[in-house]
Chains A and B, each alone.
Chain A
Amino acid sequence: QQQVKQSPQSLIVQKGGISIINCAYENTAFDYFPWYQQFPGKGPALLIAIRPDVSEKKEGRFTISFNKSAKQFSLHIMDSQPGDSATYFCAASKGDGQNFVFGPGTRLSVLP
């Protein structure tokens, strides 16, 4: 039961480059799309989130792009830094916490 698909599985980017992670969902009832960042040995932490009535949201170097008709959304990390090296999870939420689904994750490595 994977309601949120995520790609790529792993990503290597040079310092200063742009990292792009893509996700696709199936259930049109989802009403919130967050991204979580997880460092090794730590729990995930909310990075940025978007509602489906907005096409783009930017916070610092992190931008979510949302395409409601295609049921896709993506995370762009501009000017990627070695400190951004982590696993990133997209997720989708509908109503209460029982309907909260994570993608399988993307392991990002930013080379110095």
Chain B
Amino acid sequence: NAGVTQTPKFQVLKTGQSMTLQCAQDMNHNSMYWYRQDPGMGLRLIYYSASEGTTDKGEVPNGYNVSRLNKREFSLRLESAAPSQTSVYFCASSFVDSPYEQYFGPGTRLTVT
């Protein structure tokens, strides 16, 4: 089992460029999450998907879009990157009835210049 995988590991973008962060899990989890981690801020939820076909905004959704492609995959898209989106992005997954037990991917370190 690979668990939760994320690609790419590192990315540098110029302001205004777009990109998609990919996430996949092989644990048969229903729920998937995208977080951003900034120093002193902990992890903040960007978007959440309880199941295939559903997505909900989290605490900091502005500037992001998501797609729950199927049960395994959940992608995060930045349409027009801004320096404020420089962060480490984590994807996570869980069973829908145990949201406190989330399994995290290794993260994507994104720098926007």
Give me the interface of A with B, judged by CB distance under 8 Å: 1, 6, 9, 32-34, 41-46, 49, 89, 91, 93, 95-98, 100-105
Contacts and interface: CB of A to CB of B under 8 A. Distances in A.
Contacts of B79: none
Interface residues of B, number: 27
Contacts of B101: 34, 46, 49
A104 B39 CA distance: 8
Contacts of B33: 97, 100
Contacts of A93: 99-100
11 contacts: A46-B100, A46-B103, A89-B43, A93-B99, A96-B48, A97-B102, A100-B99, A100-B100, A103-B42, A104-B40, A104-B42
A101 B44 CA distance: 7
